[in-house]
Structure 1
Amino acid sequence: MTASAADEQRPTATIIVGVRNAGDSAPLLASRLVDAVRRPGVDAVVVDDGSADDTGAVLAASFGDEPGITLIRHEESVGIAVRRNEALRVARGEVIWFVDHDDEWSVAGLDTLMRAIGDADIVFARADFAWGPGPGDRRLIDGVGGWSTPRTISTGSAAELMIGSTIHGYLWSKLFRRSTLGVDPFPALVSQSDVVGVARAVASARSVRVIPDIVYVYRRQPGSITRTRTPDLAALKSAHDGVLVELGGYVQPDERDVFTARFLCLAAVKTAVRWGVAGSAMRHTYRSAQEWARPLSLRAIFRRSKSLGGSILILKVAPSLLPAALRTALKALDTLRALRSRTRVGAEAE
């Protein structure tokens, strides 16, 4: 097959970006999008969620009269989830790729995803997670690490990967057929709306393609909603419930218990510990997690993970001890990561 024939068979694609206060990253975002939409069959929709800086003006000037980019500007901020839903309503592409303005991505990642989709409805790829400036301050996330070649799997198998936390709810390491996303797939949550949207898409998919390729670099920024110091427990619980509504029927009760233990109970306390929550806010967090953990099967959780089972056991019988245990574990993990980072930097310098 010639290159032109392959291009004719590729679906059209829309890149969706929700932005707010993009700051210095706005010009680079504009450059990447202009480069992308000059490829055949690619367009972009950018929604400015009420930026208080000059993001909207910078993007408008940078895009100029580029016909492949639709820029929607708002004075009021209502959240990125709502803006993504809005962008979907005007998207023209048969497939959708969601990206963020402050990460690293290129049209090459989109090309990889589009080559992989074939007859599947969703592509699961991998991403590089960078949390610091050093070459060792990063690790691969999402995707199936043990699969070195692409595979096509069923909806049920994809659901099992998500419930088992092998595949996460990140949007940017995935490509979706527009038809799987439906109307307003992202609930208006402060955080975790992504995973609900992904779960809804998986539930609508006929098949999913899993590839080992890295298509995106996610950079954790100081202002990220995943780094807030007051975790939104209601949003986390709502996202948990939403995922189980969509995908819980594909897995056994034991697997649902493990998902609740990891995604809801442990994540609530771990996030609070990581970002320094203390006092009454911490007590509210671990007591809420304890209530969520009460009906869970410890036997099922221990069978899957002894460390997770140990955390849930503490949460059930002595919840006030879990924050201290997690602080110790996270400190050890950070020390190990720093050591690995220095070792890698030293090896690259030789």
Structure 2
Amino acid sequence: MGEPNVSIIMAVYNTAEFLPETLESILAQTFGEFEVVCVNDGSTDGSAEILREYAAKDPRVVVIDQENLGGTRAREVGLGLARSEYVWFVDSDDVIPASSLAALHTSLVEAGADIAIGNYAKIDADGAVFSENVYPRQSAKGEVSFAQILRLNAPQLWNKVFRRGLFTGVDFSPVRIGQDLALSLQAAMASRKSIMVDHDVYHYRVYRGSISQTFRTDTLLDITRSLGILIARAKNTGLYESLEGDWNELLLRHCLHQLRKLVYLGVGDARHLQRGIRDFLAENLGPANSAEADILAEDVQRYLSSRIFLTPKYWRHFLGSRRKRA
């Protein structure tokens, strides 16, 4: 095999049930030269054996074993071993339509871009599609700014091909929730040009056993670490103040998503999660100095008072004290 044009990086941990389907979909790509760098993150369910079986019969598949250090570290290891100028991070339980890599790479090169972003669908455990074209079609083609990426709610790592150099200086701190969010948006901040490709490039599998569906308080609070990494990077690169309203919305969106999972926790754990997110928002939410921010604040109050049984009086006090500080 010659030098690859794209390095597909896949962190693997206990996905033996879906791993063969994922690998088959990758190896069936119509695109030319690519490699698949698989980092086995201490799997115990037979995933390692499946990887070695595929590596033995296809030279494009490279397997590295490590102890269980988490997906972020596995991706960092894979990135360090990638030989191509372009990288694509794929999850080990999803499915890639056959023309995906060709569509992303061709668009990337023709546009002289650093990131190509494709549309995607959601599938269930059996592979049946239940949500197509997640991005609105009118937003799914052409050049997009970093602000548009934020507003489009496009933090996924797996539906993008990146120029590898974008990850220089990226914070790969280990987190269990928000890995994609932290890595992809850090890279997007460094991009000179990003484009949307009007093509279904990825089928994201949603099922009960998914790592991203874990309901542990310490895991759920990792979203605040991921968001904190992004806010620090944005401030260091001058991309915070001009987009403060968009950052506020991002923080609220992802924190509220984790708070929806309170119903799965015991009383003590629920309070711990509630306090952790409350304190994070109090410290990091930008000043409510615009109509948009006021609307967001009211949405937070309504949501939390109805879903978490906190009184509206509490949230009026919390948000009001923030306005005074601003």
Mark yes or no: TM-score above 0.5: yes
1:267 is the counterpart of 2:257: yes
Take 2:281 and 2:115, find their aligned partners in 1: how far apart are those partners?
32
Q: Shift in Å at residue 272 of structure 1?
A: 2.8
Take 1:29 and 1:131, find their aligned partners in 2: how far apart are those partners?
14
- Counterpart in 2 of 1:283? 271
Take 2:129 and 2:200, find their aligned partners in 1: how far apart are those partners?
17
- Counterpart in 2 of 1:122? 115
Take 1:125 and 1:140, find their aligned partners in 2: how far apart are those partners?
9
Q: Shift in Å at residue 237 of structure 1?
A: 0.8
1:68 is the counterpart of 2:60: yes
Does the Cα contact within 8 Å between 1:125 and 1:173 map onto a contact in 2?
Answer: yes
Does the Cα contact within 8 Å between 2:38 and 2:51 map onto a contact in 1?
Answer: no
Say which SS state the counterpart of residue 262 (structure 2) adopts. Answer: helix
Q: Deviations over 1:65-96 (max 9, x none)?
A: 5332211123x211111111001111011111
- Counterpart in 2 of 1:147? 139
Say which SS state the counterpart of residue 28 (structure 1) adopts. Answer: helix
Residue among 303, 308, 314 paired with 2:292 = 303
Take 1:171 and 1:126, find their aligned partners in 2: how far apart are those partners?
12
- Counterpart in 2 of 1:99? 90
Residue among 201, 205, 212 paired with 1:219 = 205
Q: Shift in Å at residue 286 of structure 1?
A: 2.4
1:79 is the counterpart of 2:70: yes
CA separation of 1:144/1:121 partners in 2, compared to 1, >3 Å: closer, same or farther? farther
Q: Deviations over 1:99-137 (max 9, x none)?
A: 112111134111110111020000111111235769673
Say which SS state the counterpart of residue 64 (structure 1) adopts. Answer: helix
Bigger mean CA offset, 281-290 vs 77-86 = 281-290
Residue among 134, 158, 163 paired with 2:150 = 163
- Counterpart in 2 of 1:50? 42
CA separation of 1:288/1:309 partners in 2, compared to 1, >3 Å: closer, same or farther? same
What TM-score results when the alignment is normalised by the length of structure 1? 0.75
CA separation of 1:323/1:132 partners in 2, compared to 1, >3 Å: closer, same or farther? farther
CA separation of 1:185/1:286 partners in 2, compared to 1, >3 Å: closer, same or farther? closer
Take 1:218 and 1:178, find their aligned partners in 2: how far apart are those partners?
23
Q: Shift in Å at residue 216 of structure 1?
A: 0.5
Residue among 7, 13, 22 paired with 1:20 = 13
Take 1:79 and 1:190, find their aligned partners in 2: how far apart are those partners?
7
Say which SS state the counterpart of residue 137 (structure 1) adopts. Answer: strand
- Counterpart in 2 of 1:322? 307
Identity of matched residues, %: 21
Q: Shift in Å at residue 174 of structure 1?
A: 0.6
1:203 is the counterpart of 2:189: yes
Does the Cα contact within 8 Å between 2:31 and 2:102 map onto a contact in 1?
Answer: no
CA separation of 1:305/1:112 partners in 2, compared to 1, >3 Å: closer, same or farther? farther
CA separation of 1:64/1:12 partners in 2, compared to 1, >3 Å: closer, same or farther? same
Give the AA of the match of 1:45: V
CA separation of 1:284/1:90 partners in 2, compared to 1, >3 Å: closer, same or farther? same
- Counterpart in 1 of 2:175? 189
- Equivalenced residue count is 299
Q: Which runs of 5+ in 2 are unaligned?
A: 311-326
1:240 is the counterpart of 2:217: no
1:137 is the counterpart of 2:143: no
Does the Cα contact within 8 Å between 2:122 and 2:206 map onto a contact in 1?
Answer: yes
Q: Deviations over 1:159-217 (max 9, x none)?
A: x13433x1332111111011112266532111212211112211221111112221101
Q: Shift in Å at residue 62 of structure 1?
A: 2.7
What is the Cα-based RMSD across aligned positions, in Å?
2.9
